[in-house]
Chains A and B, each alone.
Chain A
């Protein structure tokens, strides 16, 4: 038996998997089953952080990865994000880094605040 807390929604179900039969218990929905299986083979996470801008009114803007990345790549991706300085008035969804570290995901802006001043 392996136990994992599901992070897919605020319910945070305490999941259990029988490693022989792969039977999952404790999940209140289907997503829990998918989550525990990926968590035990190839754990993935998202990251949200900020990037610097050249605008003094809005010194940083929030960004996130467009989709899940392997958990062990979090700090490598952070390093790439920290290199970026934004000098254009980008908006929500605009890509800051395309296909970051060849992981197949982009780093995108999550606010329109650069267009508000």
Chain B
């Protein structure tokens, strides 16, 4: 194996695999690096169905979806390393240098372009404020998911779940199927974070109560968790005195959000968008650093794997297209009820005839209208029945008329539900 590549992809989830396939199909000599023992990323543990509706028009499980791509990846004879952890990246005037811990010791690899597809990590107990001891039995929903779905270990018998994110909802159902008693899901906000369909098919189907405007204040237990104290909160998330309740349980799963993983990229200067918490990018998924691309959950937390694969496909192809002129980046101004927009900027010196845009609203909206305007003139308009923060939307827009002096605005307006 040569140590010089056109492209190195970090991460073998749907984003990384798709990007490597598309780069290779467009003639790139690329290497993919994965820290785990096998390819596939988070989907290996997502055994529930619902993946690939857009791409395959089928409701596949996570492993079924990703293994279709892995099969293609292997047929293309793309170089890859598993059990290889990228610990450092340096940028030199000529190329990028990656320091990688492999089974044969620390090695250096060189590439002209990089795709960062490291996915995201779960917020942990440290990220939320809970008083009390740190007993065994308090863990993230994703860790519990890995234990049961990959190792066959069911983490507890009487389970409470903090946070109504999709992983927590899916784990509520999973634990019940494995014979556990799921006592309740507690959500600090007054609306659930997860998709409505998951509330219905994971909680309602199994009579698991969802308590909104409620949080966990304290945990009890020395070796093993014995109980939690829950409390109702007001509009400002302030605990309401006198509403405390003690609930006996041996397990508390945390489903309090995901954070895009970009520590490596930050070492070479990529910028993080404060709204997505992921890497800021242009319409070709190139970050603020030339030749460094982002895709999948490290760009923003996706709820549809199809869009993860799509972002990888675009990024992979773009690494193979030679730029005739240097990039000219222009920020898109976001307004109204927009929670976030990807891409955050446009490269004026690239093809803007079909820009894929991903966005969320910051609250539940009835009959919202999305508008994109250039210098005050509306050039795109779309109406929705409803928009909710948990449901990401995508549009494809022709922005060819944008030039270096244009002001581009993205706006969501609607009636708050």
List A residues at the B interface (Cβ < 8 Å): 4-12, 14, 28, 45-50, 52, 59-60, 62, 64, 71, 74, 78, 92, 110-113, 116
Contacts of A112 on B, CB cut-off 8 Å? 67
Complexed CA–CA distance, A45 and B148 (Å) = 21
Q: Write the chain B residue with the least CB distance to A14.
A: B196
Given contacts A5-B196, A49-B177, A10 and B50 within 8 Å (CB-CB): yes
Given contacts A7-B201, A60-B151, A92 and B50 within 8 Å (CB-CB): no
Complexed CA–CA distance, A14 and B196 (Å) = 9
Contacts of B61 on A, CB cut-off 8 Å? 48, 62, 64, 110-111
Q: Are the C-beta atoms of B197 and A71 separated by less than 8 Å?
A: no
Given contacts A28-B385, A64-B49, A110-B61, A7 and B200 within 8 Å (CB-CB): yes
Contacts of B303 on A, CB cut-off 8 Å? 10
Complexed CA–CA distance, A74 and B391 (Å) = 28
Given contacts A6-B197, A12-B391, A78-B177, A62 and B149 within 8 Å (CB-CB): yes
Contacts of A4 on B, CB cut-off 8 Å? 200
Q: Write the chain A residue with the least CB distance to B64.
A: A110
List B residues at the A interface (Cβ < 8 Å): 38, 44, 47-50, 53, 59-61, 63-64, 67, 148-152, 174, 177-178, 195-197, 199-201, 205, 303-304, 385, 391
Cross-chain pair count, CB within 8 angstroms = 79
Contacts of B304 on A, CB cut-off 8 Å? 10
Given contacts A10-B304, A14-B196, A50 and B64 within 8 Å (CB-CB): no
Contacts of A14 on B, CB cut-off 8 Å? 196
Interface centre among A14, A48, A71, A110 (most CB of B within 10 A): A48
Q: Are the C-beta atoms of A48 and B49 separated by less than 8 Å?
A: yes
Contacts of A45 on B, CB cut-off 8 Å? 201, 205
Complexed CA–CA distance, A8 and B57 (Å) = 11
Complexed CA–CA distance, A28 and B196 (Å) = 15
Contacts of A12 on B, CB cut-off 8 Å? 195-197, 200, 391
Contacts of B50 on A, CB cut-off 8 Å? 10
Complexed CA–CA distance, A114 and B59 (Å) = 22
Q: Are the C-beta atoms of B391 and A92 separated by less than 8 Å?
A: no
Q: Are the C-beta atoms of B67 and A92 separated by less than 8 Å?
A: yes
Complexed CA–CA distance, A52 and B148 (Å) = 11
Complexed CA–CA distance, A28 and B391 (Å) = 14
Least CB distance from B344 to A in Å reads 24
Interface centre among B60, B178, B196, B199 (most CB of A within 10 A): B196
Q: Write the chain B residue with the least CB distance to A63.
A: B47
Report which of A52, A71, A110, A113 forms a contact with B152, defined as CB distance below 8 A: A52
Q: Are the C-beta atoms of B63 and A62 separated by less than 8 Å?
A: yes
Q: Are the C-beta atoms of A48 and B48 separated by less than 8 Å?
A: yes
Least CB distance from B56 to A in Å reads 13
Q: Write the chain A residue with the least CB distance to B59.
A: A46
Contacts of A111 on B, CB cut-off 8 Å? 44, 61, 63-64, 67
Q: Are the C-beta atoms of A49 and B47 separated by less than 8 Å?
A: yes
User: Which 4 interchain pairs have the tightest Cβ spacing?
Assistant: A12-B196, A60-B152, A62-B47, A111-B63
Q: Write the chain B residue with the least CB distance to A59.
A: B152
Complexed CA–CA distance, A48 and B64 (Å) = 12
Given contacts A5-B197, A5-B200, A50-B148, A110 and B63 within 8 Å (CB-CB): yes
